[in-house]
Structures are given as structure tokens and as C-alpha cells.
Structure 1
Amino acid sequence: MTDFLIKSSLSLGVLLITYYLFLEKEKMHQFNRFYLLFCLLFSFAIPFITIKIIQEIPHQETIPTIIPIEGVSSIPIIEDSTNYWLIAAWSLYGIITFILLFRFVLNIWKLNAKTKSNPVIEYKEAKLVLVKEKTLPYTFMNYIFINETDYNERKIEDELYTHELIHVNQKHILDILFIEMLKVIFWFNPLFIFYKKAIQLNHEFLADEKVVKSHNNVPFYQNLLLSKANANPTYYLASNLNYSVTKKRLIMMTKTASKSRAFLKKGILIPLLTALVFSLCTKIVAQETPQKEGKNIYVNGEAYYKKTTFEIKDEKGKVVAKKKYSDLTAKQKKLAPPLIIRSDNDKPLSEKEIIEKTEKEEPKTFIIDEFDPKNIKTKQQDPNTIYNTAGLTENPEYPGGMENFYKFVGENYTRPKTPEEVKLAGKVYITFIIEADGNLSDFKVLRDIGYGTGEEAVRVLKLSPKWTPGTINDEPVRTLYSLPIAIQPKA
């Protein structure tokens, strides 16, 4: 809900400012009418539009992952207790919304009751409702409400009838009812007040334009409006003759339309809408880099070295030990070359085929020389080089092991507050660098599930104590680390 309100409000605000700066002063009132309605619909749709941008991350085989097992999240997330402030806020919202809805329905009922309790006369495409109270003409649906005495004594000018008929024929009331319903639901958002004012003023521009064309007497019509300007409007749902009799309306009656200028200003909307969509709807999605398929398949691991003997050399190049794969140190295992299994064609091999070929092609002896210059990788390397865990002799480790790390995250991670109807579940992907001194830096959220889940994960990681850094041949190096955090819905 928060994401919806933020994105829709940003869109509403930008589009409304654009209207006031570029469109309102142009004599293209029909376009402006539909632009304002489009702004409302577009802004409500934009939170539901998602444009995914794929960002590839290294294949995760050698990077620790956190996977939920048997319905339990690997990292325990602290459950929320009852939030009474949230309950109070929703209760207040419900009360105010009900009051505004009641007022809205009551006004419609009153206007409808007037059409049944007063004389009604057919007049062109509309119906005149003759009311007893002194009032200026105003329109609701296809009814024009006028004072009965003024009508009988013919004190209502033809220009006023023309003005109100435009409201009837162009169904302006539908726009007003639509924006009023939005104001009832989103009463806390002041932008809808400005949208209603812009819509109603544009309706008056449309009606004034028709009157000027039909009667061709601008000074008389302007004086007529000014003479009626002080009367109070009767109903906020109706189209009132004297709505906003301001300098804007009077100037617009004499303004000349410029097609080229209007066309250019309409053209501004295309890059504007594009920018809004990409700024509010793009989402970076982490995706592992796919492994390349080819003729060579590289296999490594204890399961495939059962028959292999590893000869260990010392600094002088002399063989000082013979070991099985399971007896090798982590550093020595990193130096064990991978077995290369060749397929007969370009098709990838099945696991069974790989094992069969491994048994046939597995070499009997491997030599491991930790002191060979080609195995000492970091002596002349730039200290700012960042390594992947696949290239390390020893992987970085949290103090006390990963179990302690999971416990640390679970104790410090606060599950984001969400509405009851939101079932928050998914994975948050984060990368960060474990520096050579064990500190964490350069946090990046590649993907989250909204509601601040990514930001909260980064906050927790910043609290982490120093790690044991990754090493290459006993030399600490900077290591890129990827961490998926699984968040499951509340039980």
C-alpha cells in the first residue's frame, strides 16, 4: 500500500505540475479534459507496472546460499506484535471515509429529490427544474436548476442557457463524480483537491468557448459573468455558472489558439510519460550467469577422486607426502586441478554419463606444489583486486561459523511492517565485499520484495562484526560475497 501511494502521488504531482506549466493556458480544452482524466488513471496504474532489468551475478555454486527447509526460514525473522497504532490509524481512516461518503451520497439524494419535488420542463437536450429559492443556474446530470420566478419573467439570458447546456451535452458531471469519489477514498491526499479545481475550471473554459462562438458578444458575456460572480454555489457536485470567475476565464475568451504551440506542448508528454514509467517501474532482478555448455565438462570433488593419489611437494620441490583427496587441506584442494570430461558431441552429459566417464578417465596421480610460482597469485597483485570465492584458497567466514551468522541476522533483523492482506515472502539478494581486514563494505541490493526488506538487510549487515577474510595462499584478499535471505510469510 505504501509503495502504491508513493508512486501514484509522485506521478499525480508531476503530471499536474506539467498541466499548470504547459497546458492550462493553451486553448485546447477538450485535450486538457482527457489529459486530466488520463493523469488520474495512469497514476493509479503505474504502481502495478513492472519493467524488469536483469543484472547477472556469478553462478552461485561456490557461494553460500540460504534456503528454507521444511517450511522454516533459514534466517529466523522476528514476528510483529499487535500494532495498536496501525489499528487506530485504520480506524480513523474508516471513520473519516464513511463521513465523506455519507456526505457525497446525501448531496446526490438532495439533488435527485429536487427533480421530483419541483416542476420539470423539457428544454432541448436537457430538463429545466424550476426551484423556489433564489439561485443562479446550475447543472447536475441532464437537469438544469433555475429559479422559477426568473424563468417565468424571462430574466435568464440566452447565454446562460447555452452555458449550462454544454455541461449537460458533454457530460461534465461524470468527471466531477469520478474525482469526488477519489477524494472520498484518498481524502488525505491534497493533490485530488487541485485536480478537481483544474477539471472544473477546464469545464468552464469549454462552456465559455461555446457561448462565445454561439453568441459572438464577448464583452456582454464577460460583464454578465462578473455580475453573477458574487453568488454562492449551491452544491459542490453541480456545475455552477459562476465557478471561478477569474482573470483566467476572462482572458481565455479572447485568446487565439496556436496549433503549432499546442502541438509542441503535447509532444512534451511523450518523454515525460516515458521518464515516469522508467523511473517508477524499473526493477533490478538478480539472475545467475548461466553456465556455458560445450564439449568440455569440468568436474571436481571428493566423489570423483576416490582412486587418485595426491603427491605433495615442499619448498625444494621434493615429494614429502602422499594423500587421498579427503586428507588434503582446503588450500591443497583448491590447487587440485579439475577433471576434464569430454563429450562425444555438443550435448551436455547426464550425471550418470559424467560418473561413467570419470571412472574411465580419472588419472591415478596428481602433484600438488604449493610453492610453485604460478600458484602464488597475490604477491604482485593490486591490493584493490576483488576476488570471487571460487578463486580463493580459503573462503571468508563469520566468527563462529555460518550458524552463528544466521543467529546474528535473526536476532537483529526486524520484519518490515505490512498491511494484513500482504503475504510477504520471497528472497532478498545482496552482494557485499569482505575486505582483507574482515570488515564489510559496498553493500548492493540486487533484488528485494518491497516494504524495505532490502534496506533492513543492509542495516543488519552493517552491524556485523569482522569476518575472517578470504585468502589465497594464506594472503588475505578482498572477496565479493553474495547472500540470498529467505523471508517466509507469517505462520
Structure 2
Amino acid sequence: MIPLPYLFQVNMYWLLCYACYWLLLRRQTHFGLNRAYLLGVLMLGFILPVVQLPEVWMESFVTKERSVTRPVIDNFVIAETQNIHTAVEPQNFAALQQRQPIFAIDWTACLGTLYIIGLLFMSVRLGWSLRRLLAFFRGKEYLQVDGCQVFILDSNVVGSFSFFNKIVINQKDYEENFDTILRHELVHVQQRHSLDLLFLEALTVFFWYNPVLLFYKKSLQEVHEYQADRSSVLSREQYATFLVSYALQSPTDLLSNSFHVSSLLKKRIFMLYKKRNSKWSLVKYLTIAPLVGLVLILTAGREHTSTPKTESLMEQVSLIPEKRMDENRNQKSLVKPANTTIKGTVRSSKTQALLPGANVIVAGTNAGTTTDENGTFELKNVPLMSKLAISYIGYEIKTIEITKPNQDVNAELLWQQRALEDVVVVGYSPLHDDVSQAKNGLRQEIPDSVFFVVEQLPEFPGGKQAMYQYLGRNIHYPTEALRKGIQGKVIIQFIVSENGMIREPQVTKRVGYGLDEEALRVVLNMNSWNPGKQNGRPVPMEYSLPIEFQIEK
């Protein structure tokens, strides 16, 4: 989808350029330049918002990426061993996420729907006008004049007009003013004025909400008439008298160039008598380019004023010796700490086994990642002197301070001994399909309402042991999947609301053959949970529950 800031800038450039035309150019007799200006700035409006100025003028604006840990409940493995169903202890419990209000209105979706409705309406309107014009010409006889098709009507129902290479002259105009009107309409055809109007109507379909395009269309129609009026072989007095006496109502088609438009009559006569501007008046056109360039620099250069300062501060910090940094560690610094890239591993202190899917979070921020299938991780743009909180289900949380650039972190987590009755560990599978990894370090910033560390996590009634036993008792391996030897991992997402109810359960990773439906059924039948709490109040949390179905022979 096209970004809203881009569309906003396009419309603002159009408004600015039309204001320049109205103030400086609309009364100029350089009609060809006026026409080129109006069409040119409409096309230029699409280009200016994406123009990047040279580094000499402006530093590139770089947005910091921030990482988000995927909230999951850890992986349960359902094994089929001689038709006995067992639940397996989860591998990992990632940070939980606060859910936005369920019944909140999505204004972005509402505006998008409104835009689509307007787009469809304007498309139908344009298509209907084109169809009506083409149907008007179909089957009628015409004369060939200077490469144009001239249609002579036998009535005065419509006024004379032109559309691309087709000219329509009604019976009265043919008998009384044929030469004058034909010459006038031939200019419209030769100058391809219908193409201008079609271009404006196409823009109006996509930018129907922008009234500035109506002013562009009106100004282009004025320029078209000025150009055609200039070609008259009559004297100015005779032609002006002819325009005033011409009273036949013109057609109202969107795309045609009609000979008579009552709202333009006064302006046409004024421009007819206006003395042509000298070449010195071309200076006005030259003033437009610096004005637009200045606006471009001002709008594109807003980030320019802060970027060099930030970089210089980072350079100052990076040049401070490590010893000096240690001395000032507990003091408030006026200089923003430099960022660095941190790589490392997470393993069990008991078995020395690498732990895939461990959470690595920058303390005090919404940024972090998880270890990959090899138990390794990488974080970019980590502030010096910050702390990493590393956690894994069944292990104590470990905090490590980042004291030097490119620090290697090799964390060993202490095992928390727990006894789980009636829980059989069958096997583990990598978590890289369950937890989204941080490929580029810190990810994009997310709303402040998302929690990665909460005071009290939501809990199944009776605790985790009760949840494992519930899964083991209630999940049944589907007969069809068992017969065909189908195995795989199903991921169910659901919300534990403030009152502990299970809401919006959905399958985010499917296997088929009844496994998805069985996993969803068990989640739907869960009793109410004890809700999670943050700052002493219940908050909604979203869970991802991976359930792996295995068959042992």
C-alpha cells in the first residue's frame, strides 16, 4: 500500500505549485508555457517526495531498527505411542504481549474503505463518460478534414465540441458559423487538448478527495480556449462580438472541449484583448524553480539538523577510554552512549547444551531477539552500558551488562529444579519456526503498550503442571492422521483477557488431517486462566501455543 506521508506530500506539492500559478502566471499570454507548467507540476508532484538530496546538503535519515520477541507459550509435543497420549514439557516461554482493546475502532481500515468506495465511484463515473462519448460517435457519418473526423448533426440538441480527432458541429453552427467553429475546434484536436483532460480525470479517480485538481482542470480548460481563440482569422472585435452572440448551451461531458463555456466567456474576451507579454515576463517562470527547490530542501532537510549532532556525540563517546567509562558509569552523562553490535550464545550450565529460542532482551526497552536453532544470537544498535536480560523456561534469568563495543556474550543459565508428575519428555524440535528471529538486530519500534517483562504472567488453573496434564488427557490423535502417518507442529494463538477468558483462538500454522482442529478444540475447552498483571492490574496477553504431534513405532 502507498504510504500516507507520501500521498500527503504529493498533494501539498500540487497545492504549492498551483498557488504559484495563480499568483504569477495565470494572466500571462504565454499559453503554451502555462499549459506545460500545469501538466508538468502534476507529474513532478509524484517525483519530489522521493527525491534524495546529495550528502553534501543533507545526511541520510536512518531509522533505528528495534527487535520484537515473538510471544509464545513453549512447545508441547503430543506423541502417539501405542495409542497412549502424553504431553511433553515445553522448551521455552517467551515474553508476553499486551493486547489492544478488542472492540477498538480501526480508523485506518475505515479510511481505507472510504477511499476504495470513492475510487470505485470515480472509476465508474469516468468509464460511463467515455462509454457515452464513444456511443455518440458510433454509426454516424462524418467528413474528413485535415485528418479529423467532422460530424455534422441534423439537430441542435448539443453544442459543438471536439474529442481527440473527432469534431462535432450541430446544424445551426454548420449553417451560420462553420468556418469559425471548425478552425477553433481544429486547434483543440491538433494541440491534443482532450489528452490533457483525460489525464486530469484519471488523476481525479485516484485523488478524488483533493479539490486542488478541480482548479487544475479549470485552469487547463482556460488555457485551451485561449490557445484556440488566438487562431481565429477574424479581428478581435469581430471575434469578441461572435463569442457574446453565441448563446447555444454547451454539452456537459467531462472529457470534451466544447466551443462555448459560459463561465469562461469574460476571461476569453479579456485575454483576447490583452497585449501579449514581453520576453522579460518569462522571468516569472524562472522564479518558480528556486521556490520549489527551497521547499524541497526545507521539507527533506528536517532530519538534517539533528543527524550530524547525533553522529558527533557517538564519535565522542566511542573515543572515551574504557577506564574512563568505568569511572563515570554511575554518573548521569550528557552524552548519549554509543551503540554496538552484540553476539553471543546461551547454554545450560548443567548440561552445557546450547538453548535455542532463549529470550535476549535489552533491559528497559521493547527490543530484543531470540537465539536461533544453534543457540546463538546477534543484536545490533545495543547502547553501551545497557543490560541484557536472558531467560529460558526452567532456568533463572541472567543479567549481563554491556561495557565495551562488540562484546561477546556467552551466557550460562542456572537450572531451576522442578518435578512434573505424569509428564513424559519425548523429544524436542527446533524453535526457529515458532519464534521469529531478529535478522537485522533491533527491530522496528512497537507501541508502548506491548510488554516483554511483566510482574505476573497469566497462569493456567493449577499451574503449568496442571496444564501439561490437561493436554495429555484431552488431546486425541486424529484417526486419519494416525492411519496416514501424518506428523507435524500446529501453532495456536489465543488471548488471555483481563478476566482470564480464552479469546480469539486461531491456527497460525497448519498441518491438516484433523490435527489443526484437534489442537484448536483443546484450547477452546480450557477453563478460565488467572490473568497476567502489570503494575498491579490485569492486562490481556497473547499466547502462541506450539503443539507437536509425533508417532512412535
- TM-score range normalised by the length of the shorter chain: 0.5 to 0.7
Q: Does 1:126 align with 2:131?
A: no
Listed one character per residue, the Cα deviations across residues 245-283 of structure 1 (whole Å, up to 9, x for unaligned) are 332211111222232442221121121121121123335
Task: Give the deviation of 1:117 after TM superposition.
Answer: 2.4
What is the aligned partner in structure 2 of residue 270 from structure 1? 289
Alpha-carbon separation, structure 1, partners of 2:446 and 2:284: 40
Alpha-carbon separation, structure 1, partners of 2:277 and 2:446: 50
Q: Does 1:221 align with 2:239?
A: yes
Cα 1:70–1:300 shift into 2, 3 Å: same
For residue 335 of structure 2, the aligned residue among 388, 405, 424 is 388
Alpha-carbon separation, structure 1, partners of 2:278 and 2:145: 35
Task: Give the deviation of 1:50 after TM superposition.
Answer: 3.1
The root-mean-square deviation of aligned C-alpha atoms, in Å, is 4.3
- Structure 1 counterpart of 2:176, which letter? K
- Structure 1 counterpart of 2:297, which letter? F
- Structure 2 counterpart of 1:251, which letter? F
Cα 1:455–1:299 shift into 2, 3 Å: closer
Cα 1:387–1:93 shift into 2, 3 Å: closer
What is the aligned partner in structure 2 of residue 169 from structure 1? 190
Q: Does 1:103 align with 2:121?
A: no
Relative to the length of structure 2, the TM-score reads 0.50
Task: Give the deviation of 1:78 after TM superposition.
Answer: 6.6
Trace 1:49-198 onto structure 2 (pairs within 5 A): 49-51=51-53, 53-54=58-59, 68=67, 83-134=105-156, 135-148=158-171, 150-151=173-174, 154-198=175-219
Cα 1:298–1:140 shift into 2, 3 Å: closer
Gapped runs of 5+ residues in structure 1? 58-64, 302-329, 337-377, 379-384, 391-401, 411-425, 430-452, 461-490
Task: Give the deviation of 1:18 after TM superposition.
Answer: 0.9
Listed one character per residue, the Cα deviations across residues 62-88 of structure 1 (whole Å, up to 9, x for unaligned) are xxx996387799997976967444333
- Higher fraction of helix: 1
Q: Secondary structure at the match of 2:167?
A: strand
Relative to the length of structure 1, the TM-score reads 0.56
Listed one character per residue, the Cα deviations across residues 80-115 of structure 1 (whole Å, up to 9, x for unaligned) are 967444333323322232222112112112211222
Cα 1:279–1:79 shift into 2, 3 Å: farther
Alpha-carbon separation, structure 1, partners of 2:133 and 2:320: 81
Task: Give the deviation of 1:45 after TM superposition.
Answer: 1.7
- Structure 2 counterpart of 1:30, which letter? G
Q: Is the contact between residue 226 and residue 245 of structure 1 (CA under 8 Å) also seen in structure 2?
A: no
> Aligned residues, how many?
319
Q: Secondary structure at the match of 1:232?
A: coil
For residue 239 of structure 1, the aligned residue among 247, 257, 267 is 257
Cα 1:201–1:54 shift into 2, 3 Å: same
Cα 1:121–1:403 shift into 2, 3 Å: closer
Q: Does 1:334 align with 2:355?
A: no
Gapped runs of 5+ residues in structure 2? 72-93, 338-360, 369-379, 384-443, 451-543, 545-553
Alpha-carbon separation, structure 1, partners of 2:315 and 2:223: 59
Q: Secondary structure at the match of 1:388?
A: coil
What is the aligned partner in structure 2 of residue 31 from structure 1? 33
Alpha-carbon separation, structure 1, partners of 2:269 and 2:302: 47
Task: Give the deviation of 1:193 after TM superposition.
Answer: 0.6
Listed one character per residue, the Cα deviations across residues 139-179 of structure 1 (whole Å, up to 9, x for unaligned) are 0010001124653xx32342211110000001001100000
- Structure 2 counterpart of 1:189, which letter? N
Cα 1:78–1:85 shift into 2, 3 Å: same
Q: Does 1:22 align with 2:44?
A: no
Trace 1:256-295 onto structure 2 (pairs within 5 A): 256-282=275-301, 284=303, 286=307, 288-289=311-312
Alpha-carbon separation, structure 2, partners of 1:148 and 1:35: 37
Q: Secondary structure at the match of 1:17?
A: helix
Alpha-carbon separation, structure 1, partners of 2:61 and 2:300: 19
Alpha-carbon separation, structure 1, partners of 2:50 and 2:214: 24
What is the aligned partner in structure 2 of residue 479 from structure 1? none
Alpha-carbon separation, structure 2, partners of 1:266 and 1:253: 22
Listed one character per residue, the Cα deviations across residues 15-61 of structure 1 (whole Å, up to 9, x for unaligned) are 1111111111011000000100011111122222233623999xxxx
Sequence identity (%): 23
Alpha-carbon separation, structure 2, partners of 1:428 and 1:184: 47
Alpha-carbon separation, structure 1, partners of 2:98 and 2:303: 24
Q: Secondary structure at the match of 1:54?
A: coil
Q: Secondary structure at the match of 1:405?
A: coil
